[in-house]
Amino acid sequence: MTTTILGLKTCDTCRKAIKALPEATFRDIRTDPLSPQERAALLEQFGDALVNRASTTWRGLPEEERSQDLDTLLAKHPTLMKRPVIRNGDAWFLGWKADTQKALGL
């Protein structure tokens, strides 16, 4: 089964996931941005939970920009995506909490 991690190479949480899942393929969404179709699929899967409203990027956005639709925000600011997003076969996971690790057999 193929495992893919979407995140940022500078993200500590993504690094933990990469270390725990050495066979996984990693994709840095800053250097290899998500396509409109990929963003749509992730938004369908996770909804507004996909946007990290506790991030420095979010706090730095002006109010009028925060009110834009999530797809537009993620296209402009990939660092707003909550990380990591992990796809393991047909299963999707958001974040690197104990429940995700357990589901991945770690």
Q: Is the peptide bond before 33 cis (omega within 30 degrees of 0)?
A: no
Please state the separation of Cα 43 from the chain's center in Å: 10
Q: Is 14 a catalytic residue?
A: no
Catalytic residue, candidates 11, 24, 51, 85: 11
Which residue in 78, 83, 87 sits closest to 25, CA to CA?
Answer: 87
Active site residues: 11
